[in-house]
Chains A and B, each alone.
Chain A
């Protein structure tokens, strides 16, 4: 597990000569590794991501292959054996006789794809508009920021409900809803940083060289706005996953044929009252661990990448 984190670079020794050789990236890695909790979070998240990616190869069963399902195996307790005594359902089964462990692995895939994908698109949209607002200034700036302010004054769930009420339910529309909810955070963050950066000499130099605007924005300004963007991005992935789960739980998210963790939890809801807790409980734990591990990493990234917190 720890191999994923990478061999920690030569510890920042007291020897000043050694400090000079350290590249910024190595310094970043060693500063990040100072928090054991963040390393743990990163390790856990790496395992989760690997499980999600490799689900079709490592899951005990393909939960959506109807041929391998047996309705007689429905709602079995964790640790039960299946009817033919060929496999053990470590986390029990749902009402269709699907192995919950496999269901969770496949669900993670969908939750992570939707969460990371929509956070990424939101980042693209938000960062571009934020950069534009900071660089163009004037009317463009105030128009973009007014929309940002308006949107941030409404809670995420309301905006998402609105979008889904307009467009109907589908996985694409969930992604659109999350993008619409999240872009404003990126735009605001990037604009804040870019406003400071655009007064620096290197931007002036680039303007003197008459470089095209696009190149100044994305080649010069954007890379220097990356640190806060990475921090926000990490946190927003966690938020996107939680929002998707909530929408799916409400029945407004992903379709039944592609159940994410939220939908798995919703499926178990009705059995919860009869004491069959595992159908909802374990997907919930998977969701929780995913969100918390991302937040742990994000917290440490914020501390490491924020120059104000450094002496």
Chain B
């Protein structure tokens, strides 16, 4: 186990390094940092002094080493726009994004599981067909357009829910959270639903497929033959077994939920890091772009690592194969 763990850790570090190289080359080498960092009014002398001070005259690999060294100390540069350390900016906005992503993930399970269960138990009913058609729509509808439609119906036409911002927040552990106030929750519902849409469809499909497969298993037949109530068969024998893949896939999707929150945050003006990155790309605030990419890549690799390790704990075959 420890050998496997070590191997996976080394791999993960390798991927982080590879991604940092890609981001560094992408942001610093393709664009011309001199153009952005130095005022266009500066004369030749000033320019050269600034280039020296910023280390831009060094060979690329040395610049990368400096970048990496600073990154390890948590220094990813200062934002040109906010004049604050880029990392601080991102970390300040991270709780909002995490809150949204968690709300969306729980929402997806809360809505998707019962619907999928129903569609799996009664595959030929009209309701199931409607659910499945709905899940196809959930896959094909562009997220941003659904977000707009939600705003149009619930905020503009019906006036039930607010369309922008986080609403009232409560500060816990130095971070602001919306889900603890009624106003905050009303602000959270639409963005979370919007972000959850794709995942709801996914959970419905996984659950339905799982239920249909499990219903044919001998142990389910036996449980029924034993005379157990349909309720007990469904919720104890079937449900428990389909829960594992559903929860795993939803967990695995958490990373992409964070990435896709870029779209949802832009629509609902949710003050998370997704909205920050879009604004930063638009004004070419490179340190913030770099900080965002590095943090998201790091989160991704951590999530993948955790999922892989959980698998290896649950399924010994993975471990053995790795040797």
- Listed in ascending order, the chain A residues whose CB lies under 8 Å from chain B are 150, 153-155, 157-158, 161-169, 238, 242, 245-246, 249-252, 262, 265, 269, 272-275, 277, 280-281, 284, 287-288, 291-292, 295
Contact = CB atoms under 8 A, between A and B. Distances in A.
A295 B137 CA distance: 10
A273 B262 contact: no
A272 B26 contact: no
A155 B15 contact: no
27 contacts: A153-B304, A155-B256, A158-B259, A161-B277, A161-B281, A162-B23, A164-B281, A165-B27, A165-B277, A165-B289, A165-B293, A238-B140, A242-B142, A249-B144, A249-B263, A250-B144, A251-B278, A252-B278, A265-B144, A265-B145, A269-B267, A272-B148, A272-B152, A277-B152, A280-B145, A284-B142, A292-B140
Contacts of A265: 144-145, 148
B94 interface: no
Nearest to A292: B140
Given A251-B282, A275-B157, 8 more contacts: A154-B300, A155-B255, A161-B277, A165-B289, A252-B282, A277-B152, A284-B145, A295-B139
Contacts of A269: 148, 267
Contact of A295 (B26, B136, B260): B136
A288 B140 contact: yes
Contacts of A246: 142-144, 263
Contacts, number: 109
A284 B148 contact: yes
A287 B145 contact: yes
Interface string B29-61: 011000000000000000000000000000000
Contacts of B142: 242, 245-246, 262, 284, 287-288, 291
Interface of B: 15, 18, 22-23, 26-27, 30-31, 136-137, 139-145, 148-149, 151-152, 155-157, 163, 255-256, 259-260, 262-263, 266-267, 277-278, 281-282, 284, 289, 293, 296-297, 300, 304
Given A157-B263, A166-B30, A272 B156 contact: yes
Contacts of A164: 281
A280 B144 CA distance: 11
Nearest to A245: B142
A250 B157 CA distance: 24
B107 to A, nearest CB: 19
A280 B31 contact: no
B141 A288 contact: yes
B302 to A, nearest CB: 12
A288 B262 contact: no
B30 A167 contact: yes
A205 B156 CA distance: 68
Contact of B266 (A169, A250, A281): A250
A277 B157 CA distance: 10
B25 to A, nearest CB: 8
B282 A273 contact: no
8 pairs of A and B residues whose beta carbons are closest in the complex: A166-B26, A155-B256, A158-B259, A284-B145, A155-B259, A165-B289, A249-B144, A242-B142
B27 A166 contact: yes
A154 B296 CA distance: 10
A165 B163 contact: no
A274 B297 CA distance: 39
Give the one of A238, A262, A265, A284 with max B CB within 10 A.
A284
Contact of A273 (B22, B156, B277): B156
B278 A250 contact: yes
Contacts of B139: 295
A171 to B, nearest CB: 16
A117 to B, nearest CB: 19
Contacts of A281: 149, 152
Give the one of B31, B144, B262, B284 with max A CB within 10 A.
B144
Nearest to A284: B145
Contacts of B289: 165
A281 B262 CA distance: 21
Given A166-B27, A238-B140, A291-B140, A284 B296 contact: no
A163 B139 CA distance: 24
Contacts of A288: 140-142, 145
Contacts of B30: 166-167
A166 B152 contact: no
Contacts of B281: 161, 164-165, 169, 252
A11 B57 CA distance: 74
A284 B149 contact: yes
Give the one of B157, B255, B256, B281 with max A CB within 10 A.
B281
B260 A157 contact: yes
